[in-house]
Structure 1
């Protein structure tokens, strides 16, 4: 019965997408990207003699998290061809031409027949799923065909369905994985309690990724020209709830320039920004512009991680809604961090940096202003906070090596 309900839920999700796709661009892209997926895959993999490794990421954030592992695998096993799949358009649209992949596709809907066809066409020798994507049929089919499927950089908590009395189907998914690499000991202990023994605490591959960004960063001449030597406050992955909190700071701190990167770049969010920002602003797509402009609004996907090199402070969005976005890209450049205090507790790095006083959860515009001023008026404290953030990333790298050591010793002769 649980599997029938699971299959029904997957079917319902497809129906809902079809109903909303005429009005919702993301839904439309998800459907169009999966149309004729079999023929698209056959065009890339039919007759291919090289072994295939399959990497799957839900969206762009998970791709960036798994990128160090993917590129390390390519260096060690250059004869393998990489299939990179995404669930969401946010990953596919940005990385569809990713140079290390033989092919980039949308993940087929998780049905038993789709899973069989997928493995028949691609014939992967090994598979990696980044963080969270526990699809029953695709993982079970891999187990049945003796294809090792691993999940990397996961975090588990007791509220998840795996640990509930009614979560038997999802516990079976975990049992069908060859190995799970988790970020912390708490996740390891939870999995052990439900009989999942193939688990290793490896840490977070995002640490390796963001550390690599600082080592390989390049100047963005357009942004550099906008900053023009001014102190700059970066606002990353903002949502409408965040804008109401940060707008007073943007409008009052006239000595500082601001770069604002909405999480979703759409007409409504850009209009909202225009309506609440009282200082002169320009969109990234309009650069180069006048040197006296105060606020740069990023209306291009995929460049935020390299914006933080120009910042002195960073506010990261999402915590007033479904969940905090990536704070590590800013932390690795030593930017003191601010974010909402509603929904950050499930993110280990956010909790740790808040405890270390490298990050400051805030409740409203007043708290943001007070926390910012507290640092901005005390240079020694600012430098201490900056060092805490930078060192936190440096001290937590190494997850990629742990995972690759397992691959080398246990999976591939």
Structure 2
């Protein structure tokens, strides 16, 4: 310890402090859950994880562990999961989520044999989890870094990859208080990164085992073009009119869009809220001044004549974008985080978002190319939508830019799979 120096002492201290606080939080969760509903759910969904793993995995199983924080990261993992499922049939794939938004939607995915929440990042949980799973390969998606899991993987010499990784200057690794976490990055045998900026940031930390492979989401959404995207209800609603699809919207997004939605003519409007609970749908309907119907009503309503359709179900949006002539993607008008712009872009659709896209390099890149526009207020939103609606050449040109943006950035998955093939067959 004497030879660690001041920085070494600080790193050791912070690592132990982190583990202590996480363990304390873990111990107090049952009590905290009495007062905070979200913490109660957080605790309850993780209670039986080790029992599930014991039931579904045996000592003879060969496993690959893939961890995705939430639904967005899962979408990035899908191209790799599909390849793993096809090439390595003898392996069991264990897929973990941290967030309920990923687990609840994808817990039955056929791309994994075991789907579960990730136990809290205590040293004991990490050791127990990895003892049960015994992965021959671990894959983390984008920027989910859990020090105790990573340190345990490193000690066990489990090959570990970061896929579609992002590194930014505002992450803890680049702050004085978070530099201790840099040691955890030693667990990664290789970093597959989304962009050159991330590579530069990672190299500043002293890591050279990395390359810019791109974002696997481009491969994921590009494949959507080859799928069957037919939706009878949407085709019936759209008819021969232009269609504006407002995807993954929050109240802040509707506040920007309401001026256009309530006054526009000659265009159908579809709204797919991020949350489709009863209260949120009713709140949305109260904002609308034009006749609207719900997606769930389409099959029973033979005289459907509304110009606004509210999608009160999940799982359809990626197909719905195939019918869009222009799209608004929610999340960036407030602080919730921009949703997936690549899904509409792959269909060659002009895209509008709120202004908060600073943490989303794909949105910034597409805005630079003029395939995406950001709006700050109702006036800007209405003016831009009116131009896209009435100016066919502008709409077509912008859409072509979006489509080309996707096709020009595919190819990350083959690079990643080449490395995985070499690792698993070595």
Q: For residue 339 of structure 2, what is the aligned residue in structure 1? A: 325
Query: Structure 2 residue aligned with 1:281, among 278, 292, 313?
Result: 292
Is the contact between residue 371 and residue 402 of structure 2 (CA under 8 Å) also seen in structure 1? yes
Number of aligned positions between the proteins: 410
| Change beyond 3 A, Cα 1:239–1:71 | same
Taking structure 1 as the reference length, the TM-score comes to: 0.94
The answer for unaligned runs of 5 or more in structure 1 is none
Query: Structure 2 residue aligned with 1:306, among 300, 303, 319?
Result: 319
Distance 1:254 1:182 in 2: 44
Per mean C-alpha deviation after superposition, the further-off stretch among 7-16 and 205-214 is: 7-16
Give the secondary-structure state (helix, strand or coil) at the position aligned to 2:262: helix
Question: Are 1:143 and 2:154 an aligned pair?
Answer: yes
Q: For residue 266 of structure 2, what is the aligned residue in structure 1? A: 255
Query: Structure 2 residue aligned with 1:79, among 90, 97, 104?
Result: 90
Q: For residue 374 of structure 1, what is the aligned residue in structure 2? A: 387
Distance 2:415 2:118 in 1: 27
| Change beyond 3 A, Cα 1:230–1:23 | farther
| Change beyond 3 A, Cα 1:367–1:8 | farther
Is the contact between residue 18 and residue 27 of structure 1 (CA under 8 Å) also seen in structure 2? no
Give the secondary-structure state (helix, strand or coil) at the position aligned to 1:260: strand
Distance 2:347 2:67 in 1: 28
Query: Structure 2 residue aligned with 1:191, among 181, 197, 202?
Result: 202
Distance 1:412 1:201 in 2: 24
Distance 2:251 2:58 in 1: 46
Question: Are 1:2 and 2:17 an aligned pair?
Answer: no
| Change beyond 3 A, Cα 1:21–1:398 | farther
Is the contact between residue 130 and residue 151 of structure 1 (CA under 8 Å) also seen in structure 2? yes
Query: Structure 1 residue aligned with 2:418, among 390, 402, 405?
Result: 405
Is the contact between residue 131 and residue 153 of structure 1 (CA under 8 Å) also seen in structure 2? yes
Per mean C-alpha deviation after superposition, the further-off stretch among 10-19 and 135-144 is: 10-19
Question: Are 1:346 and 2:344 an aligned pair?
Answer: no
Give the secondary-structure state (helix, strand or coil) at the position aligned to 2:206: coil
Q: For residue 57 of structure 2, what is the aligned residue in structure 1? A: 45
Query: Structure 2 residue aligned with 1:365, among 378, 382, 388?
Result: 378
Distance 1:13 1:324 in 2: 30
Per mean C-alpha deviation after superposition, the further-off stretch among 239-248 and 26-35 is: 26-35
State the Cα distance separating 1:168 from its structure 2 match: 2.5
| Change beyond 3 A, Cα 1:13–1:244 | farther
Per mean C-alpha deviation after superposition, the further-off stretch among 207-216 and 263-272 is: 263-272
| Change beyond 3 A, Cα 1:18–1:374 | farther
Query: Structure 2 residue aligned with 1:107, among 110, 118, 133?
Result: 118
Question: Are 1:57 and 2:68 an aligned pair?
Answer: yes
Query: Structure 1 residue aligned with 2:48, among 33, 36, 42?
Result: 36
State the Cα distance separating 1:160 from its structure 2 match: 1.1
State the Cα distance separating 1:321 from its structure 2 match: 2.1
Q: For residue 133 of structure 1, what is the aligned residue in structure 2? A: 144
Q: For residue 170 of structure 1, what is the aligned residue in structure 2? A: 181
| Change beyond 3 A, Cα 1:354–1:16 | farther
State the Cα distance separating 1:409 from its structure 2 match: 2.8
Per mean C-alpha deviation after superposition, the further-off stretch among 174-183 and 198-207 is: 174-183
Q: For residue 250 of structure 2, what is the aligned residue in structure 1? A: 239
Query: Structure 1 residue aligned with 2:277, among 266, 272, 285?
Result: 266
Report the RMSD for the aligned CA atoms in angstroms. 1.9
Bigger Rg, structure 1 or 2: 2
Distance 1:183 1:355 in 2: 17
The answer for unaligned runs of 5 or more in structure 2 is 1-12
Q: For residue 159 of structure 1, what is the aligned residue in structure 2? A: 170
State the Cα distance separating 1:222 from its structure 2 match: 2.4
Is the contact between residue 242 and residue 318 of structure 1 (CA under 8 Å) also seen in structure 2? yes
Give the secondary-structure state (helix, strand or coil) at the position aligned to 1:200: strand
Q: For residue 224 of structure 1, what is the aligned residue in structure 2? A: 235
Q: For residue 218 of structure 2, what is the aligned residue in structure 1? A: 207
